Amino acid sequence: MKLLRYGLEGKEKPGILAADGKIHDLSSVISDISPAMLAAEKLAELKQIDHAKLPIVPGNPRIGAPIANIPKLVCIGLNYTDHAQETGRPAPKEPILFMKAITAICGPDDDIIIPKASQKTDWEVELGIVIGTKAQYVSESDAIKYIAGYCLANDVSEREFQTERGGQWSKGKSADTFAPLGPWLVTKDEMPDPQALDLFCEVNGERVQNGKTANMIFPVKQLVSYISQFMTLMPGDVILTGTPAGVGMGFKPPRFLKPGDEVRLGITGLGEQKHQVKAYGSAV
């Protein structure tokens, strides 16, 4: 299933992208795509519904993040060998963990807002893992059982805030609009091998990132298991799994986003995002 949320920001309704390629409204069945709805039995119930009989959503509504009330965003740094190389750092021996503020979450086609005083706002296409079941100290062999599905993500980053202002990475990762998610949550039954996906990102029509999840240093099942050794993963949590080479800071000279730019990104089976980049205070 491809589950989504559509409508004005803060007023999103649950929907599903049905086999006919149209958005069908799920409001008569569930109130929202909430963390509680990500349990395996709940998803199984949704799958049994005749989606074609649900009302079709007219027009082209705004799409929001595919999960409401996400508890936390856990992120992985330097998880592709080529990305580690372009940053001039060795491949990590263990996953690098950092957090991204949930206030950064926005929809897949919402504007990216460059923060005040930013000079180095950057792009990062990433695979997002959506947790469906509470996970504590899980093994790698069992890790997939705790996953509800996957989504496309852009780990937007301000590199000066992240690396030149002291402290941890989170303050360079957490500005409003720095975590576009979606357009859909694709349930894991439709994504049997998360390590066989292609990723891309374009800036103003130029392909800047081309990657494969097969090139992750730490694959999906290892990440879920590893993170669960240090914190409890809850239903609705999203893990951003790292980005391949081609980010702005890796260019020589570095290239960063500016007002008026357009960013387009996608992952096999998970849809695409398209963002207009605007300066803080210019958004209507």
pLDDT tens-digit map of 160-201: 999 888 888 899 999 999 999 999 999 999 999 999 999 999
Mean pLDDT is lowest, of 14-18, 83-87, 93-97, for 83-87
What's the confidence (pLDDT) of residue 164? 85
Backbone angles phi, psi at 134, to 5 degrees: -50, 130
Encoded tokens for 226: 């590893």
pLDDT of 123 strictly over 90: yes
C-alpha to C-alpha distance for 94 and 39, rounded to whole angstroms: 29
Q: Is pLDDT of 284 > 90?
A: no
The first and second tokens of residue 180, run together, are 């576009």
pLDDT band at 89 (very low <50, low <70, confident <90, very high): confident
pLDDT tens per residue, range 154-165: 999 999 999 888
Buried b (16+ CB within 10 A) or exposed e, 247-257: bbbbeeeebbb
What's the rounded Cα separation, in Å, for the pair 184 and 152? Answer: 8
Q: What is the mean pLDDT of residues 111-120?
A: 97
Task: Evaluate if residue 276 carries a pLDDT over 70.
Answer: yes
Average pLDDT over residues 128-154: 98
Runs of H (alpha helix) within the chain: 40-48, 81-86, 159-163, 220-228
